[in-house]
Each structure stands twice: as C-alpha cells, then as structure tokens.
Amino acid sequence: MRKTLTILLTAIFLTLLAGAQEKEKRGPSTPDERKRFVDLTGKLIKSPLDESLKDEAKWALQWLSDVPDVNVNPCPLPLGDMVPSDYKHAARIFSIYVLAMGVYAIEHPKKSEDETPQYLAGVEAALSAYKSILKSKPGANSEDLDNLLAKQQSGKLEAFVKTAGQECSQ
C-alpha cells in the first residue's frame, strides 16, 4: 500500500510539473524570486498553520514547478510513512519538505548530483515545521514524524534519508 501511494503521489506531482512545462516556457528564476521563495519557506517552517501564508505557499509550489533552474525530486520516501498516513497536516508537511529542497537547490547550486543533502534539508525543515505545529497544537502528533524525530535525535536521520533517497532513484 505504501509503495502504491508513493508512486501515485509522485506521478501526480510529476504530471503537474509536466503540465506546467507544456505551458509557455519561462526563463530562469530571478534573484528577487529566489529571495521571495527562500524567505517564504522560512516563514512556512516557523508558522506552518498560518492561513495568511496559504496563497504565498501556492505561489511557491507553482514557481518551483515552473522555473527551469531550480530542480527537486519530490520523492516522499525520505519522510518515512508520513505521506501515506492519515495525519491531518501531512499535505502541509510534504509541501514544506518540497519547498525546503528548493531552498537547498538555490543555496547549493553545484551540489545537484547527490540528492541526499537536498532530501535531508527537506526532512529537517519538515521536522522543524512539525515541532512548530506541536507548539501551537500540542495534541497534533504524528507517529511517523515522531519516529523521524527519534532518528534525528539519535544521529540516524541522515543514514535513513540516504537509504530512502536511493529507493527514490530506482
């Protein structure tokens, strides 16, 4: 079931990316757009439930799919079983994960060959957003994200993300 859902989510995201690319091709991102994107992602990590950022978050996801020079692989496997779970905030956490990978791509343009650091940046941002959610809604726990937090605290998160990322490449 997990693998089927992962494939389905990835297919949907890739379809959106392909659809965006079929539109009129746009040029590379501008410095102002990249700054806006990075700043917004930081705000979303700190306040993931802030409804006033909803339209901005939509812009950021669309922008990330449209620009040809900032690339991410939105594979959900590095987030463990969070994506196929019924966690109420899973979509938000996944969006922040993808956006944070975009920030990593912007800030480290020469490191695009190895996706592990990009996945790790996304997972760490997702975990920071999760902690922010728990501060404002203490009962909003996710067993899957708690498991990732435990891996982070024990120093095993990077190895987990690397293994999961390798599955994404297959």
Q: Give the span between the Cα atoms of 28 and 61, in whole angstroms.
A: 15
**Residue in 60, 57, 67 with CA at minimum distance from that of residue 25:** 67
Whether residue 156 has pLDDT greater than 90: yes
Q: What share of the chain is helix, strand, coil (3-state, %, to 5)?
A: 70, 0, 30
Q: How confident is the model at residue 168 (pLDDT cuts 50, 70, 90)?
A: confident
Q: pLDDT at position 25, please? A: 78
pLDDT-derived band at 51, boundaries 50, 70, 90: very high
The CA distance from 55 to 9, in Å, is: 22
**Tokens at residue 167, please?**
């599955």
Domain boundaries, position 12: 2-169
- Residue 62, SS3 per DSSP: helix
- pLDDT, averaged across the chain: 87
One-character DSSP codes across 100-155: HHHHHHHH-GGG-S--HHHHHHHHHHHHHHHHHHHHH-TT---HHHHHHHHHHHTT
3-class secondary structure, 24: coil
Report the number of distinct structural domains present in the chain.
Answer: 1
Region 138-161 average pLDDT: 96
Could you read off the pLDDT of 87-137 as tens digits, one per residue? 999 999 999 999 999 999 999 988 767 789 999 999 999 999 999 999 999
